Amino acid sequence: MNSLMLNTDGVQIPQLGFGVFQVPDDEAERAVSAALQAGYRHIDTAMIYGNEEGVGRALRGSDVPREKLFITTKLWNSDHDRAERAFDESLARLGLDYVDLYLIHWPVPAQDKYVQAWQALRSIHADGRVKAVGVSNFTAEGLTRLMNETGVMPSINQIELHPYFQQREMRAFHEANGILTEAWSPLGQGKGLLADPALTVLSEKYHRTPAQIVLRWHLQLGNVVIPKSVTPARIKENISVFDFILDSEDMAAIGALNSNKRIGADPDTMNML
């Protein structure tokens, strides 16, 4: 498992993690347990997913030492003005003394409280209850505002990113400012991407599944990536991507798939509380 260095106190994040978006709480326990058995050490959840308790049960039921795990959770939109209390509530649901990464889930521009929330996350980090803090779904404008008003850039920005929506400008902005890029919906949420003929060709060439080809593309770009599955065989398949390399022509072929079309919400207009 590769790890990447965050811009915070030498903290390292496993480059490939396990996401639990839209996984019910009871299924999350089973899925996370299977992921830990398969070798995942980075688990990504959020308050709004409603499965922090299930994730916590899986962590406590595992024989993997806590210091070997990297746990991420997120601050929901309605909690921007009560971030420290919301963080404590997430810790209680997870049954943990600390988390490794805490993210502002969305900027919610109409509410305009994300700078206040960011200052609270920095306070939580200073108290030692989280090893690193970052954001999710932020634009370059939002990141720049955080820097201008607080003097501190997030360590990571988790954004929608897959071969059909490659976020090249955001990735370049992140790189220029020492921010890691983390991809959610890295496989395009099963909405046609994995059936793309270009990926079928590469799947046959490398004797890998289309999902493994896409995950390998993310890794070679330098993205942190968090695929989701509740199927044990697919959970194992998704982590089996460290023993082959896509050549430059094939990386370019996947790069040519970009259509700049989102699957999820636009951060500039996503204001749900």
Torsions phi, psi of 120, nearest 5? -65, -40
Q: Flag whether 264 is in a domain.
A: no
Range of the domain at 212: 3-255
pTM greater than 0.95 = yes
271 part of a folded domain = no
The total number of structural domains in the chain stands at: 1
Q: Is the pLDDT of residue 169 over 80?
A: yes
Burial class of residue 238, CB neighbours in 10 A (0-12, 13-18, 19+): buried
Q: Per the domain annotation, does 262 fall within a domain?
A: no
- Is residue 270, in this structure, part of any structural domain at all? no
From 49, 102, 114, 164, the catalytic residue: 49
For 142, residues 6+ apart whose C-beta sits below 8 A from its C-beta are 107, 109, 114, 135, 267
Contact (CB, 8 A) for 92 and 256 = no
**Which region, left, alpha or beta, applies to residue 159 given φ > 0 means left and ψ of -120 to 50 means alpha?**
beta
Burial class of residue 169, CB neighbours in 10 A (0-12, 13-18, 19+): exposed
Name which of 215, 224, 125 is nearest 180 in CA terms. 224
| CA distances to 91, 111, 159, 168 from 115, in Å | 22, 11, 18, 25
Residue 263 included in any domain: no
Cα distance between residue 172 and residue 176, in whole Å: 6
Where residue 259 falls among pLDDT bands split at 50, 70, 90?
very high
CATH number, position 132: 3.20.20.100
The 10s digit of each residue's pLDDT in 30-86 is 999 999 999 999 999 999 999 999 999 999 999 999 999 999 999 999 999 999 999
| 131: in domain | yes
**Any domain includes 240:** yes
The answer to whether residue 102 is catalytic is no
Q: Is the pLDDT of residue 9 over 80?
A: no
Taking only the tens place, the pLDDT of each residue in 76-113 is: 999 999 999 999 999 999 999 999 999 999 999 999 99
Instruction: Name the nearest CA neighbour of 5 among 168, 131, 140.
Output: 131
Residue closest to 85 by CA, chosen among 115, 56, 124: 124
Residue 132 within any structural domain of the chain: yes
Buried b (16+ CB within 10 A) or exposed e, 37-59: ebbbbbbbbbbbbbbbbbbbbbb
- Written as six digits, the tokens of 61 are 């039921």
Tell which residue, 3, 64, 5, has the closest CA to residue 38.
Answer: 64
